[in-house]
Chains A and B, each alone.
Chain A
Amino acid sequence: MMEKMIFGRYIPGDSVIHRMDPRSKLIFVFVFICIVFLANNAVTYAILTAFTMLVMLLSKVPVRFFINGLMPILWLVVFTFFLQLFFNREGQLVFHYAFIRIYSEGIRQGVFISLRFLLLIFLTSLLTLTTTPISLTDGIEMLLSPLLKIKFPVHELALMMSISLRFIPTLMDETEKIMKAQMARGVDFSGGSLKDRVKAIIPLLIPLFVSSFKRAEELATAMEARGYQGGEGRTKYRLLVWRPADTLSLCSLAAVTVLLVLFRDGGIL
């Protein structure tokens, strides 16, 4: 069912990107998301595309896999492309048939915006593809730790995140099991009217909730029994190490940012 989804999935590997510190990757992705919006002409988009390609190559994740993962979101990209194509009324009239009018600016914007989408999707999914969920939460906890000063429950948030991430596959397995058990009892999940389909979800949802409650209770007991008393005074088993490669990656990003600022329309050049 979710076989094609690559969001949030981790592919074990041993590349430069895999070995990077999760903090630098998080900062990297965050900054990248911001600077994507700096691009507004062919040159800047070319720079961004080349840069993204380079990062993807470095990760050694098979390209075929990115394409597969893109499929579920493709309609959104296509939709925005056509929205621009048909409704942007700037620039020269390129094509005219009945009520369809396509303008040069529409094509330009359509291509750029879909490209922007693709770049964002590729790079953000690269983050989860190359980082284990656990180190991702460690990274988030460290990055958010300044918020402790304003009494923000950073440890609790990180704990919740790591537990939820840990249980996503377990819950997915369980969903599939219960689904199959109910299918064997004659439930049809994929057919029938909308009303039938909604009704079919009940035999799936109730057992899932019940088992989640049970699991939460058992987990809480097990944690208490092992002496968990909250975040204060805990030491860390997994330590994050900031390597030269991390600094380098952020520098390269800074370089790209400078290039973008220089070459964008209305930029310095």
Chain B
Amino acid sequence: MDIALEQVEYRYQPNTPFERLALHNISLEIPSGRYIAVIGHTGSGKSTLLQHLNALLQPTKGKITIGDRVIDAGKKEKNLKAIRQKVGIVFQFPEHQLFEETVEKDICFGPMNFGVPEDVAKKRARELIRLVGLPEDILAKSPFDLSGGQMRRVAIAGVLAMEPDVLVLDEPTAGLDPRGRREMMDLFYELHRAKHLTTILVTHSMEDAAAYADELVILHHGELKRKGPPREIFSDPEELEKWGLSVPDIVRFQSTLEKRLGKKLGKTCLTAEELAEELQSLLKRGGR
């Protein structure tokens, strides 16, 4: 499902002393099946942008096309439920959204709201609970008896159970331990590949952005500053610094190394493996 934003502007609390311009002149196309990472400093409008993708917020100017629905500024939209089924959002700290008596009921809650029959929803719950790395017997427990990390997984399973075409992730791994982070991020990438999901990730981790995304989008003070593949974006560390961002550790290591060696490597490497290969080929060519 393609999503396109055209000159979108969003103001919080317009016409009050608390008015705040959160997004300004955002034009962005998200073709079906892409993995896009949105990065930017705190308060740059990332989360506001996300909420436009399934019409939780509607633009104060401009228009948004989500699949075959067009959302124009200033129009009262009805029947947004169809959009919300297609575009699943995992919010920051999604464990706060759990409320049912059992984990199973909570996972089934989303799909059943969209008219999925109970037995199908339960089947999905059983599949998903294993997919997110939890034992099946947890389904019968109360979500409030679980640990923070487990609650997070249950909440994510609850969003995945709606089987969205577009998965929007707002810092899904904030507050998880390093292993949990990696597992979750790998799971999302796996789903993205296997189900051809369009994935939009908001993150502060440049490593994650570099490792998974096809394209990066940089927001700064509510404006879209740059859009491009990670290799291109991370090749210019000075520019990123202007927007309060940094490059992944590997990239920084490479540029320090390049300065010491006094020569440039073939390309900007995004992972340790890539860098190792580049260095190896440099050695083979006899460069010192």
Asked if A232 is at the interface (CB within 8 A of a chain B CB), the reply is: no
Choose, from B63-71, B94-102, B228-236, B258-266, the stretch at the interface: B94-102
Asked if B144 is at the interface (CB within 8 A of a chain A CB), the reply is: yes
Choose, from A95-103, A108-116, A204-212, A261-269, the stretch at the interface: A204-212
Residues of chain A contacted by B123 (CB below 8 angstroms): none
Identify the interface centre among B54, B94, B96, B162: most chain A CB within 10 Å of its CB.
B96
Asked if A178 is at the interface (CB within 8 A of a chain B CB), the reply is: yes
Residues of chain B contacted by A186 (CB below 8 angstroms): 81, 84-85, 110, 113-114, 162
Contact present for A11 and B17 (CB under 8 Å): yes
B residues 51-107 near A (Cβ < 8 Å) are: 51, 54, 56, 81, 84-85, 87-89, 91, 94, 96-99
Asked if A184 is at the interface (CB within 8 A of a chain B CB), the reply is: yes
Contact present for B97 and A181 (CB under 8 Å): yes
Asked if B158 is at the interface (CB within 8 A of a chain A CB), the reply is: yes
Asked if A187 is at the interface (CB within 8 A of a chain B CB), the reply is: yes
Residues of chain B contacted by A11 (CB below 8 angstroms): 17
Asked if A239 is at the interface (CB within 8 A of a chain B CB), the reply is: no
User: Which interface class (under 10, 10 to 19, 20 to 34, 35 or more) fits A?
Assistant: 20 to 34
Of the candidates A183, A188, A203, A207, which one forms a contact with B109 in the assembled complex, judged by CB atoms under 8 Å apart?
A203
Nearest CB of B to A121, in Å = 18
Asked if A65 is at the interface (CB within 8 A of a chain B CB), the reply is: yes
B residues 85-141 near A (Cβ < 8 Å) are: 85, 87-89, 91, 94, 96-99, 109-110, 113-114
Asked if A164 is at the interface (CB within 8 A of a chain B CB), the reply is: no
CA distance A166 to B94 in the complex (A): 24
Contact present for B94 and A181 (CB under 8 Å): yes
Main secondary structure of the interface of A (DSSP, over half): helix
Of the candidates A68, A178, A185, A211, which one forms a contact with B110 in the assembled complex, judged by CB atoms under 8 Å apart?
A185
CA distance A182 to B100 in the complex (A): 12
Nearest CB of B to A9, in Å = 9
Contact present for A185 and B17 (CB under 8 Å): no
Contact present for A174 and B96 (CB under 8 Å): yes
Asked if B147 is at the interface (CB within 8 A of a chain A CB), the reply is: no
Q: Are A65 and B88 also in contact (CB < 8 A) when A184-B54, A185-B113, A185-B158 are?
A: no
Asked if B159 is at the interface (CB within 8 A of a chain A CB), the reply is: yes
CA distance A77 to B145 in the complex (A): 50
CA distance A251 to B54 in the complex (A): 58
Residues of A within 8 A of B (CB): 3-4, 11, 62, 65, 68, 174, 177-178, 180-188, 202-203, 206-207, 210-211
Residues of B within 8 A of A (CB): 13, 15-17, 51, 54, 56, 81, 84-85, 87-89, 91, 94, 96-99, 109-110, 113-114, 144, 158-159, 162
What would 7 more interface pairs be, CB under 8 Å, given A181-B94, A183-B56?
A3-B16, A68-B16, A180-B51, A184-B56, A185-B158, A185-B162, A206-B99
The 6 A-B pairs with the shortest beta carbon distances in the complex, nearest first, are A186-B113, A206-B99, A185-B110, A181-B97, A184-B89, A181-B91
